Chain A
Amino acid sequence: MSDSAPGRATITVAVRVWRQAPDATVGRFERYLVEIAQGDHVLNLLAALRRQHDPTLCYPDHFCKIGTCGACALLVDGKPALGCRTLVAGDTIEIAPPRGRAILADLLSAASGT
C-alpha cells in the first residue's frame, strides 16, 4: 500500500478507466476524479480510485509492485506500460487492459492470470 504521506502536494486527476464485469464480453470507459500525491505512479492511482470511489475495481494488485514481476501490464494513454513503473504525467489519464489478452474483469487480464 502506498498512501501519500501527510502534508505532501496532491493533485486531482481525471481518470478514464476500463470497466468490464467478470462475465461480460463488452465493457466501457468510466470517468472518475481521483486525488493522488503529485508524482505517483499508475498502480497507486488505481489503489486510490478503489479507496475513494469503488472497492470493486479489479486490477492486477496481487503482485510485486516494484518493477520486477511484470504482472501489472496495462495500456496507459494507448501505450503498453507497467502500472508500477509509469508515473501519472498530467491531470488526465486513460487506463485500459493490455491488448490481445482475454479480460477477466476490469483491468485484470489473463496474462496476469493463467
Chain B
Amino acid sequence: MTTGRSSFDVIVIGSGAAGLRAAIAAAEAGASVCVLTKGSLLYSGASASANFSYCAQFGYFGPEDTPARYAADILDSGRGLAVPALAERLAVEAGQEAEAVDPWGVPWRRDPDGRYNVATFGGHSFRRAIHVGLRTGTVLMVALGRRLAALDVAVRDYCAAVELLRDEQGIKGVLALDLRHGAVVMLRAPSIVLATGGNVAMYALHTNPDEVTGDGHALAFRAGASLIDLEFIQSYPTVLVSPPAARGLHYPTGRLLGFGAQLLNGKGEAFFHNYETVPIQKATRDQLARAMALEVAAGRGSPNGGCYVDARGVDPATLRDVHFEAYFADLGLDAGRDLLEVAPTPHFTIGGVRIDADGATDVSGLFAAGEVTGGLHGANRLTGVALPETLVFGAAAGRAAARHAAERGRMADGGNAPVPDWLGHALRIEVATGGEPHVGQVSARLREAMQAGAGVLKSSASLRAALAVLDAIEAEELPRLSSRQGGLRLNWELLQLVELRHMLLSARLHCLAALAREESRGAHLRTDYPDEGGAAWAGHLVARRGPDDSAAFLFERVGAA
C-alpha cells in the first residue's frame, strides 16, 4: 500500500482508531489520503488495547434516556470544563458511529431481543457500555483496517512526523522521518488530521504503549495551534505495580467491587470510606485514584507504593469476565489466589489540541481527533467515552479535512526536505563509542522525573523539580545526542530521538499548566491546593507558542469565549 507519492489532499498522522476513521471519512468524501504511522498499521496505537467499553445512547431506558442526558453526564464528569458543543456531538453520534462500523466487521454483543448488550459504569445515568467482550479495541481496529483497505488510501509506515509545515495561509504539509525507506521526506497536503493519541509515555509507569509520546501535542503547538486543559491527565486507579512483568497493566477493579472484591491499604485495612461518602461500589475512577494516592502518601501504602485489591472472594467465572486469564497465568498471576498490588497510574491524556465540533483547530487546514484533542472531557473523562470519541471526531475531522482540501486545491509535490538543524546534528554519525548519555538513557531520566514530580499527586515544589530536569535535558543533553547507527533506514535510535523531542515539549507543557492551576479539580490533584477553587478557576488554561517554543498561557473563563 505504500506509494512514492508525496502530495495528497489529506494527510492523517497516526493510525489508531481516530486516524483510521478520519482517513476512511476523507477518502469516502473523494479526497486523496495518506496515513502516516511511526509504527505499523493495525498494531500501533493505544486503541487496540482498549479492552471493553464503547458508551453510546440508544434510548433503551425510557424518555429520559436521551443524547442530552448523555451529554449532561459528560459535562458533570468534566467538573465545569467539558465543552458542551463537543459533548453534544459525541452523545448524538456515538450510536450512529457504532452502527456505521458494524458492517465493516464489529460484531457488537447483542441480547436475545436484538438490542445491543449494554453494561453499566459509574458516572453514567443509564447503561450505555456496548462491547465486543474484552477485545473491543482490537476488533474495532481490524474492522477499520478492513474498510481502509477497500479504499484507495496510501499508507506510510515506520514514518515519524517531525514538524508540520505551514505559512500565513495555513497548513502546507509535514516533514517526516521515513525509516522504512531511509529518508527525510516532505509530504504536501492542504489538510492534515492529527490523530497521534496521548502523551502518558512521558511517565516511567503508565498503562499505554510506550510510543504514546505526545507527538501531536508538540506538532500542533509548534505549528501555532492552541492547546487546552493540558494539566489534566487521568489516572487509572488500579494498575498493577508487581510482579515486574505485570507493571503498567490496568486491572478493571471497578467491575469487581460490586462482586465482593476489596480495596485495602498496605496494612490490609479498607480505607476508601475515610475519603469519600459514596459507597466504593459506586465510586468513579477519579475518586478511587485520589483516595489511593492520599492513603499511600500518608505512609500506609504497599512495598511498591500502592494498595491491594483482594479479589480472592470473587467467583472465578466473574474474574474471567474482566481479565484475560491466560495472560495472567503467563505472568504468574492468579487473582483468585494472590493479592494484587495496584497503584493509580497515568492512563489517558485529557487535554490537548483545541478543536471545534468539526475537529478544526485554529490553524487553517489543521484538524485533530481523538486523545490528542482537549475539551470534550473537561477536567475528568467519563468511563467508556474514549472509543466513541475516536470514531465520532475521527469521522468529523476526516470529512472537514476533505472539504477544506477541495476548497484549497492540491499542492505541488514535496520531494526531499531540507533537514532542520537539530535533526541534521543528530544524523551526524558518532564514530567514537561511549557517546553517553544516549537517547534511551535521557528518555528514561525524563520519565523518572515526570513520575516523581508530575504524577498523580502534584505540588508546586514537585512540579518545579520536574521542570528543572526537563530544562537540564533540553539545555545540556538534547543538543549532544546523535546517532551511532549509520544510515536512516530503520534507525530506531533516531526514532527515539524524534519521540524524545516531542515528549520533552509535551511534558513541559503539562508541568507548566499543572503549576498554573492552583486548585484541585477532577483529575488534577495538588497537595498544596487540595480543594476545588470554585468559580474563580472554572475556565481553561489555553497554551500558545511564544518565541523559542516558550509557552504563553491564557486563562479563559468558561462561557466567556
Contact = CB atoms under 8 A, between A and B. Distances in A.
Contact of A40 (B49, B135, B244): B244
A55 interface: yes
Size class of the A contact interface (CB-based, 8 Å): 35 or more
Interface string B174-215: 000000101000000000000000000101111001110000
A71 B40 contact: yes
Nearest to A42: B245
A23 B40 contact: no
B493 A55 contact: yes
B527 interface: no
13 contacts: A1-B210, A1-B248, A4-B244, A5-B304, A8-B304, A56-B492, A62-B44, A62-B210, A64-B43, A64-B209, A65-B209, A68-B51, A69-B138
B338 to A, nearest CB: 13
A34 interface: no
A22 B487 contact: yes
Given A23-B489, A85-B331, 9 more contacts: A1-B203, A7-B303, A22-B182, A41-B245, A64-B46, A67-B327, A68-B49, A69-B43, A70-B43
A22 B493 CA distance: 13
Size class of the B contact interface (CB-based, 8 Å): 35 or more
Interface in B42-74: 43-44, 46, 48-49, 51
A8 B441 CA distance: 20
A65 B210 contact: yes
Contact of B209 (A37, A62, A108): A62
A17 interface: no
B53 to A, nearest CB: 15
A66 interface: yes
Given A1-B210, A22-B490, A69-B43, A55 B438 contact: yes
Given A38-B244, A51-B440, A58 B157 contact: no
A2 interface: yes
A67 B245 CA distance: 11
A31 B484 CA distance: 19
A22 B491 CA distance: 8
A71 to B, nearest CB: 4
Main secondary structure on B side of the interface with A: loop
A38 B324 CA distance: 23
A87 interface: yes
B40 A85 contact: no
B249 A61 contact: no
Nearest to B304: A5
Interface of B: 38-40, 43-44, 46, 48-49, 51, 135, 137-138, 157-158, 180, 182, 201, 203-206, 209-211, 241-245, 247-249, 303-305, 324, 327, 330-332, 438-441, 444, 447-448, 483-485, 487, 489-493, 496
A86 B330 contact: yes
Contacts of A66: 49, 248-249, 327
A64 B201 CA distance: 12
Contact of B157 (A38, A86, A113): A113
Contacts of B206: 1
A25 interface: no
Contacts of A4: 244
Given A1-B201, A61-B211, A44 B138 contact: no
A90 interface: no
B210 A61 contact: yes
Contacts of A76: none
Contacts of B46: 64
Contacts of A51: 440-441, 444
A62 B332 contact: no
Given A2-B244, A5-B241, A51-B444, A56 B49 contact: no
Contacts of B448: 3
B490 A41 contact: no
Interface string A12-55: 00000000001100000000000011111100100100110001
B430 to A, nearest CB: 10
A44 to B, nearest CB: 7
A50 B489 contact: no
Contacts of B243: 39
Contacts of A64: 43, 46, 48-49, 209
B236 to A, nearest CB: 12
Contact of A39 (B44, B211, B332, B438): B332
A71 B440 contact: no
A56 B491 contact: yes
Given A44-B245, A56-B484, A22 B210 contact: no
Given A62-B38, A67-B327, A68-B49, A44 B205 contact: no
A65 B496 CA distance: 17
B51 to A, nearest CB: 7
A63 B43 CA distance: 6
Contact of B244 (A44, A55, A63, A112): A44
B241 A58 contact: no
Given A22-B490, A105-B490, A63 B444 contact: no
A41 B240 CA distance: 15
A74 interface: no
Nearest to B241: A5
Contacts of B242: 5
A66 B245 CA distance: 10
A56 B447 CA distance: 19
A55 B332 contact: no
Contacts of A105: 489-490, 492
Nearest to A63: B43
Contact of B204 (A1, A57, A104): A1
Query: What 10 A-B pairs have minimum CB-CB distances, sorted nearest first?
Result: A62-B39, A37-B244, A67-B327, A41-B245, A22-B490, A40-B244, A105-B490, A71-B43, A22-B489, A85-B330
A66 B134 CA distance: 13
Contacts of B158: 113
A4 B137 CA distance: 28
A51 B492 CA distance: 13
Contacts of A61: 210-211
A105 B487 CA distance: 13
